[in-house]
């Protein structure tokens, strides 16, 4: 307490709050049993969280987060997977502490190619792994699974983008009006963003919203470029085109009250993927890995353990 009081006096209220939030983030990583690691490639750097080590006896699970999010999105899922799996959560291409190149290819195929680089650098493909993706990360995960099926024991998609919606959601309606809830510029818009992605909006004070904006807004010109590439007509619904090529056991979870992406996507997945099991999460919005972490983790654990192939080496054909 004396330390915090002296810190507050010397640095000021706002800086102290940033420090406390940083400590909270480190605490979540500690609870998850995760370590932050880095892979330096000749032209690229990947930052990621890792819990455990590669083992033939335990499944490896690779987690891909959504647009403008980061590896920390998976902290609660990683904590719950800790007893049963070796888990890796990467900062997706252009996100978090991974290389951010304004001139890079951040379309879905471009991001999938980068994910492949990571998989090969960590040699995850040598024994196979289980792939999990949320939102845009789910779009990339599904396309990856269709392109490199021999490497993956199972696939889990959480409210993935890349599927043509049957209804216009709150988020899509705002986009049509020229507003992108995922890129809020002030506290009011940040509150709208939270209300859109969560079914039950977390009651964050204005100072917390201000700190969140401080970390996000400087990167908006880059994220606007990324978003334009993601939404290119050629690739906007690429996941749906790839669904017939997804042959591994697949789990699809969708928040019943998703206001970002139309929940009709669950029906598309279960009807188009030959081995797909689908479930709605009640009282849940778009961020299922956060809003319903325990239920989501339980589904993933059951799916991964049911379809793990210990000791099987799946090399690319």
Report the catalytic residues.
135, 258, 286
List all residues 6 or more positions away from 109 whose beta carbon is below 8 Å from its beta carbon: 143, 235, 238
Residue ranges in the chain assigned as alpha helix (H): 2-11, 13-32, 75-81, 108-121, 136-147, 170-176, 187-197, 206-216, 220-230, 238-242, 265-272, 288-291, 293-306
Calculate the dihedral angle through the C-alpha atoms of 241, 243, 244, 250, rounding to the nearest 10 degrees. Answer: 180
If you search the block for the tokens 């032209």, which residue do you land on? 43
From 260, 242, 264, select the one nearest 252 (Cα to Cα): 264
């Amino acid at each position: 307490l004396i330390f915090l009081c002296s810190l507050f006096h010397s640095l000021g209220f706002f800086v102290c709050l940033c420090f406390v939030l940083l400590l909270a983030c480190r605490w979540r990583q500690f609870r998850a049993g995760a370590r932050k690691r880095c892979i330096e490639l000749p032209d690229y750097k990947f930052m990621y969280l890792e819990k455990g080590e590669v083992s033939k006896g335990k499944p490896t699970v690779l987690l891909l987060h959504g647009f403008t999010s980061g590896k920390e999105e998976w902290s609660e899922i990683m904590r719950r997977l800790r007893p049963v799996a070796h888990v890796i959560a990467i900062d997706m291409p252009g996100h978090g502490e991974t290389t951010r190149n304004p001139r890079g290819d951040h379309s879905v195929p471009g991001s999938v190619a980068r994910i492949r680089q990571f998989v090969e650098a960590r040699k995850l493909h040598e024994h196979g792994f289980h792939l999990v993706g949320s939102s845009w990360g789910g779009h990339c995960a599904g396309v990856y699974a269709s392109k490199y099926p021999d490497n993956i024991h199972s696939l889990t998609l959480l409210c993935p983008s890349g599927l043509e919606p049957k209804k216009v959601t709150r988020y899509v309606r705002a986009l049509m009006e020229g507003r992108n809830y995922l890129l809020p510029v002030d506290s009011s818009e940040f509150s709208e963003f939270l209300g859109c992605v969560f079914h039950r909006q977390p009651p964050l004070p204005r100072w917390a919203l201000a700190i969140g904006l401080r970390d996000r807004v400087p990167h908006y010109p880059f994220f606007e470029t990324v978003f334009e590439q993601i939404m290119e007509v050629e690739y906007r619904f690429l996941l749906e085109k790839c669904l017939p090529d997804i042959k591994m056991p697949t789990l699809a979870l969708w928040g019943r009250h998703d206001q970002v992406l139309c929940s009709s996507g669950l029906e598309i997945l279960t009807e188009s993927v030959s081995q797909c099991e689908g479930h709605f999460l009640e009282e849940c919005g778009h961020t299922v890995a956060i809003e319903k972490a325990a239920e989501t983790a339980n589904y993933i654990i059951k799916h991964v353990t049911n379809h793990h192939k210990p000791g099987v080496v799946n090399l690319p054909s």
